Chain A
């Protein structure tokens, strides 16, 4: 081994604490990148594999009652690769020992036992046996929330009739990774279930023999989703079809996409900040560390070492530190990445995990750190190496001290001598002091940025539950109801106030940009379910015209005063032009909002509602629960307060969805 290399190893050993400290900074930067990108990629690949292996469909549509014979005609649409027709219905559940009303999405299972699309991953148990009308499969989160295993019983109100059901299997589906009940803002696994049962049984319950109410379509590669959607709409229209949509508007997919998007955005935002800050700090530190070697550099020059071999020597020193950091950061980052992937995988109930390898990430992180370190070393070496050896070997010339203040002010009378030395030292090296302070400021800054999401999320929760959605419960109906139902509901026991709410699915368009959204109608001065803008003021809806989310306005490129085209995807299915009268800077989704009477006029309908928002008497909730379960037309009941409170219990960060979002953001 070369003597210089021996010197290198001994120097590393002598300075181990500093070497380790610099390596930790490098490692911290590398670890964040490896962790964030690694976990995001793993989850993304897991999702892709999950969708692929279990045949997640591309296009979805609902209808009131479409004849089975239509299946063949759907299959003839160009670009369609596979079809699954099903019956899908919302229903209320009655679970023994659980007083709050729960609801479920019932989905039929082909009795041939052959599922083409959205195939189930059976965690345990089996499919319902033919002829056993009570047997069902439920989704794992629901089973887990209630501690249900095979053999557990509960009942459901299907088409107004109560039925006893028994669980024979527990499953997962790519279609229901994320399950949010109607009217709910976040998943509540105890109160919302996916229940699969025999097609024969379900069709009998809803008088849908020989018919279907939902269809899922798998597209051929390269097929146009838009064309298939249009043709599907045309076919289903006579049978009460609601607008078909792609994955983008499928609830589970959209939320999963959103979570992964957040992870992705974060892996593109925070780790680069960390890595750049770390690189900058390593650069600063190594510049100073190498500058300390001034005398040794002079000596090596005096002994006849060329500038090149001296530079190489210190580069090796720096490279050693950086490599230690990269290896350390790589290992820790990978480990944390696996941990985070498993955490998210568990949260999403993925049946399996795919761990993606990311050699390019290691390379990027490593190269950036190494370059920063090399530049740092080079800056110091350039200064020292150009000095004649005779000068380098001497201590640096005494620095020029200045009187800080005019000679007449005797600073040393005011402050002690050590303090004066300290002040002078800072004043003497203003650049160094500046960079030192900058380094520490950046350390503080990355801590702030890694902590702020917690604050923002808490704020979001506060705004949502205490300012905007102040209702205690929302009763959703399977079909829209005449507005006088509000009167009836308000007479239910425990109800203090009731407010109508009407939702209409639409396509909104401006120029070439189109989005599928829901326009909600509510009283102009709604008291329970309010609209809150970013300034935290309640928004009073104008008597006519449409208010839209600021984000939607941004996407469409419109503002107040502009007009948008709206395809009403319900009722008469007209297309209308509506003026945008306001934009609302809100937090959730992209949506349209109207005064409820204005919406009725737009729909050319008598006043109807799709749901009613309630405020409840806390002492009479049990009575309310009992009463509501007996109303046959109720499709679901959302209990915002209850969901929020119960899910808030395990952690400060409220609900599972908040938790995941909080996790997705690094709160």
Chain B
């Protein structure tokens, strides 16, 4: 078996908020293999987002180790972390986080300009079926369209991993399914390892692997022998 994309060892994150200490992650061990679609499920505050942020280099653990392939992310300096994000990670956020003053095309170009081996922004938008609305500003796009722009922006750099935090959280089921379809399509065509956080249990059907979170730990792991297509989902 090849080296996993991510390997976590006793990964711990403690937030100090006012006078309370919160164990967002409590000694988590984990492997995420290449090219898989992994879904993180669990209630609010169970540590999913913290794990995703640390995997994406947006945050640092309090203790423990996290490897990206054989790169130890926990040791990296800010500058190296930025380079890691730029070269390997694509993000999709719940609220899309597009730059409102830039068009769909320009939002994607924002990433391709600093990436090493990007695709053309137009191609990335075509992958998510938005070539016709390239020159619209975020305010002129529906929520689902905005999220697909965000996906195009995330994949345009051909990242090794795509990290999605509640990508369908703000969307109705029909648009949500289209967004999941776009993510699966990317995984299929480019082989990008994809990690999706969701509250929505039905999304686990499309995953290769499902990690259940509770109280900062992984309580259960389920592997699906066969992934379902997004079109088969209902919620």
**Contacting residues, chain B, for A301 (C-beta < 8 A):** 58, 82, 85
**Which residue of chain B lies nearest to A11 when distances are taken between CB atoms in the complex?**
B101
**Which residues of A have CB within 8 Å of B93?**
393
A307 to chain B, nearest CB (A): 7
**A304–B58 touching, CB < 8 Å:** no
Complex: how many Å from CA A400 to CA B60?
25
Q: Is the CB of A304 within 8 A of B115?
A: yes
Q: Does B111 sit at the interface, judged by CB under 8 A?
A: yes
Chain A residue nearest to B84 (CB atoms) is A304
Q: Is the CB of A305 within 8 A of B99?
A: no
Q: Are B85 and A303 in contact (CB under 8 A)?
A: yes
Within B39-79, the residues touching A (CB, 8 Å) are 53, 56, 58-60, 78-79
Question: Please, which residues of chain B bring their CB within 8 A of the CB of A304?
Answer: 82-83, 85-87, 89, 111, 114-115, 157
A3 to B78, CA, bound (A): 24
CB distance from A320 to the nearest CB of B (A): 14
* Number of inter-chain CB pairs below 8 Å: 73
Would you call A389 and B58 a contact (CB within 8 A)?
yes
Q: In the assembled complex, which residues on chain A have CB atoms less than 8 Å from the CB atom of B83? A: 304
Chain A residues near B173 (CB-CB < 8 A): none
The chain B residue sitting closest to A397, CB to CB, is: B17
Q: What mask results when residues 7 to 49 of chain A are scored 1 for a CB within 8 Å of chain B, else 0?
A: 1001100100000000000000000000000000000000000
B14 in the interface (beta carbon within 8 A): no
Contact status A306-B58, CB under 8 Å: no
Known contacts A303-B85, A304-B87; A2 and B60 CB within 8 A of each other: no
Interface flag for B97 (CB, 8 Å): yes
Residues on B with C-beta less than 8 A from A299 are 97, 99
Contact status B113-A14, CB under 8 Å:
no
Chain A contacts of B91 at CB under 8 A? Answer: 302-303
- Select which of B18, B60, B79 is within 8 A of A388 by beta carbon: B60
Q: How far is the CA of A3 from the CA of B106 in the complex (A)?
A: 6
| Interface check A367, CB cutoff 8 A | no
Residue numbers in B under 8 Å from A6 (CB-CB): 102, 106
Contacts A299-B97, A302-B85, A393-B97 given; does A2 touch B113 at CB 8 Å:
yes
**B113 close to A388 (CB less than 8 A):** no
Identify which of B58, B79, B114, B157 contacts A302 (C-beta below 8 A). B58
Indicate which residue in B53, B60, B86, B102 contacts A10 across the interface (CB closer than 8 Å): B102
Tell me, yes or no, whether B110 is within 8 Å of chain A by CB.
yes
Is A307 a contact partner of B97 (Cβ separation < 8 A)? no
User: Are A7 and B102 interface neighbours, CB within 8 A?
Assistant: yes
> Any chain A CB within 8 A of the CB of B109?
yes
User: With the chains together, A7 CA to B114 CA distance in Å?
Assistant: 15
Interface check A485, CB cutoff 8 A = no
A3 lies within 8 A of B110 (CB): yes
Q: How far is the CA of A28 from the CA of B89 in the complex (A)?
A: 47
Distance in Å from the Cβ of A302 to the closest Cβ of chain B? Answer: 5
In this complex, how many residues of chain B approach chain A with their Cβ under 8 Å: the count is 30
Chain B residues with Cβ below 8 Å from A4 are 110, 113
Tell me which residues across on chain A come within 8 A of B114, comparing CB atoms.
303-305, 309
Residues of B within 8 A of A3 (CB): 102, 106, 109-110, 113
- Give the nearest-CB partner of A304 in chain B: B86
Measured between beta carbons, the chain A residues less than 8 angstroms from B106 are 3, 6-7
A306 touches B102 (CB 8 A): no
Query: A145 on the interface (CB 8 Å rule)?
Result: no
Cα distance A307–B81 in the bound complex, in angstroms? 11
**Which chain A residues lie closer than 8 Å to B18 at the CB level?**
400
Instruction: Give Cα A11–Cα B99 distance, bound, in whole angstroms.
Output: 10
A2–B82 Cα distance when bound, in Å, is: 19
Q: Is A390 interfacial (CB 8 A cutoff)?
A: yes
Which of A11, A306, A388, A400 is B59 in contact with, Cβ under 8 Å? A388
Q: How far is the CB of A461 from chain B (nearest CB, A)?
A: 58
B39 to chain A, nearest CB (A): 20
> Which residue on A lies nearest to B85, using beta carbons?
A304
C-alpha spacing A11/B111, complex, angstroms: 19
> Do B110 and A303 touch (CB < 8 A)?
yes
Q: How far is the CA of A390 from the CA of B101 in the complex (A)?
A: 22
- A390 touching B79, Cβ below 8 Å: no
The distance in angstroms between the C-alpha atoms of A11 and B106, with both chains bound, is 14
A296 at the interface (CB under 8 A from B): yes
- In the docked arrangement, what's the CA distance between A3 and B82, Å? 19
What residue in chain A is nearest B107 (Cβ atoms)?
A3
Asked if A391 is at the interface of the complex by the 8 Å CB criterion, the answer is yes
The digit string for A388-406, where 1 denotes a CB below 8 A from any CB of B, is: 1111010001001000000
Residues of B within 8 A of A388 (CB): 53, 58-60
**Closest chain A CB from B4 CB (angstroms):** 23
Chain B hits for A300, CB < 8 A = 110
Say yes or no: A7 contacts B99, CB within 8 Å.
yes
Bound state CA distance, A541 and B53, in angstroms?
88
Query: Which residues of B lie under 8 Å from residue A393 when comparing CB positions?
Result: 58, 93, 97
Taken residue by residue from 111 to 141, chain B's Cβ proximity to chain A (1 for < 8 Å, 0 otherwise) reads as: 1011100000000000000000000000000
- Contact bitstring B16-31, A, C-beta under 8 A = 1, else 0: 0110000000000000
A502 to B210, CA, bound (A): 111
- Contact yes or no, B101 A7, CB < 8 A: yes
Q: How far is the CB of A395 from chain B (nearest CB, A)?
A: 11
Q: Which residues of A contact B87 (CB under 8 A)?
A: 304
A100 to B96, CA, bound (A): 87
Q: How far is the CA of A304 from the CA of B115 in the complex (A)?
A: 8
Closest residue of B by beta carbon distance from A303: B111
Give the residue name and chain of the A residue nearest to B106 (CB): A3
Name the distance in Å between B66's Cβ and chain A's nearest Cβ. 14
Chain A contacts for B157, CB-based, 8 A: 304
Contacts of B101 in A (CB 8 A): 7, 10-11, 14
Interface string of A283-296 (1 = CB under 8 A from B): 00000000000011
Q: Would you give the shortest CB distance from A207 to chain B, in whole angstroms?
A: 90
Chain B residue with Cβ nearest A389: B58
- Complexed CA–CA distance, A307 and B86 (Å): 12
A80 to B83, CA, bound (A): 79
What's the minimum C-beta distance from A133 to chain B, rounded to whole angstroms? 85
Across the two chains, which residue of chain A brings its CB closest to B110? A3
CA distance A304 to B82 in the complex (A): 5
Q: Which residues of B contact A389 (CB under 8 A)?
A: 58-59
Residues 636-660 of chain A, each 1 if its beta carbon lies under 8 Å from chain B, else 0? 0000000000000000000000000
Would A307 and B78 be within 8 Å (CB), given that A302-B56, A302-B58, A388-B60 are in contact? yes
Known interface pairs A6-B102, A302-B91, A393-B58; 4 further A-B residue pairs with C-beta atoms within 8 A, sorted by A's residue number: A2-B113, A10-B101, A11-B101, A306-B82
16 intermolecular pairs with C-beta atoms under 8 Å apart? A3-B109, A3-B110, A6-B102, A7-B106, A7-B110, A299-B99, A301-B58, A302-B58, A302-B91, A303-B110, A303-B153, A304-B82, A305-B82, A307-B79, A388-B60, A389-B58
